[in-house]
Amino acid sequence: MRTSKPLPDRAGAATTPVLAVTALRKEYGTLAAVDGISFQVGRNEIVGLLGPNGAGKTTTINMILGVLAPTAGTIHIEDIDLATQRSRALARTNFAAVYAPLPGNLTVYQNLRVFGLLYGVPRLAQRIEVVIEQFALQPFRNTKCGVLSSGEQTRVGLAKAMLNAPRLLLLDEPTASLDPAAARDVRARIRELAARDTGGALWTSHNMYEVEEVCDRVLFLSRGKILLEGDPKTLPAAHGRRTLEELFIAVAREPLTLTGG
């Protein structure tokens, strides 16, 4: 069963979704890593993309980032077709992932400056100072990223992800190496971003507490298909589970028993 929630349509915000994915499919030989999924991320919305390892979450994110070509389907970022207007579409996105640290041989400031130019950030010097302060990176400003702890590197990655104030923010396990206090700050920061601007975020995490706290809506992915969709606070009860974590485990172990709802 798939429950749906209308996209938030706050006053003053554009009505087009930030991200519209339609019939997206990625095949590797005979294996469908992502099997015809469709979903949207609305304005001011944080959508959680959940699923067990190998479910197709990172494959989906890589396709939205334009570094992996879909076998079929379309991706529109603010109505811009990623396949035909790649640069325009990607200028509106940014991402942070635990498996994509910034070059360790550049300092925090140097990385932010290079990526700021790549994303065409206006008033870059000023913007760099803002994100450095937001992610408490002042002590590491001139430190090479390679010598930072994994948590500090994650914060640098998040600062880079926020640099161009992206309309679509893609976060692949962004708090995986953060301590609980830093993780809470990051969650607050992302929520602020989603509430303040007209952007949206797609968030993957294995921390169900975090997902419940942050996400307006979740998509459960299993074997490349979206199995469930809905409000993380009400979805477990709708499927006879007490918590989101129990629901996650059920999806991971017995996806077929849940498809009927």
Partner 1 sequence: MRAQRVAAIVLRQFYLMRGSPARVVPLFAWVAIDMVLWGFITTYLNAVTASGFNFVPVLLGAVLLWDFFIRVMQGVTMAFFEDVWSRNFLNLFATPISIAEYLGGLVLSSIATSTLALAVMLALATAAFGLSFLVYGLLLIPFLLVLFLSGIALGIFSSAVVLRLGPAAEWFIWPIPAILSPFAAVFYPLSTLPRWMQYVGRLLPPSYVFEGMRAIIGGGTASGTGLAVGAGLAVLCILLACQFFAHIYWHAVRAGLIARYSAETLN
Residues binding partner 1 (CB under 8 A): 26, 28, 58-59, 62, 65-69, 86-88, 90-91, 93, 95, 97, 99-100, 102-107, 110, 113-115, 117-120, 160
- Of 40 and 60, the one with the shorter C-beta distance to partner 1 is 60
Which residues on neighbouring strands pair with residue 220, listed in sequence order? 50, 228
Compute the least distance from the CB of residue 212 to partner 1, in Å: 28
Q: Which is nearer to partner 1, 7 or 163 (CB)?
A: 163
Residue 24, classed as helix, strand or coil, is: strand
Cβ(25)–Cβ(35) below 8 Å: yes
What is the nearest approach in angstroms of partner 1 to the Cβ of residue 111? 9
User: Residue 133, SS3?
Assistant: helix
In whole angstroms, the minimum distance from the beta carbon of 156 to partner 1 comes to 11
Considering the complex, state which of residue 160 and residue 187 has its C-beta at the smaller distance from partner 1: 160
> Would strands 217-222 and 72-77 be described as parallel, antiparallel, or unpaired?
unpaired
Distance CA 156, CA 259 (A): 39
Is 78:144 a contact under the CB 8 Å cutoff? no
Q: Where are the beta strands (DSSP E) in 90-187?
A: 93-97, 168-172
**How near is the Cβ of 129 to partner 1 at its closest, in Å?**
18
Q: Which is nearer to partner 1, 40 or 94 (CB)?
A: 94
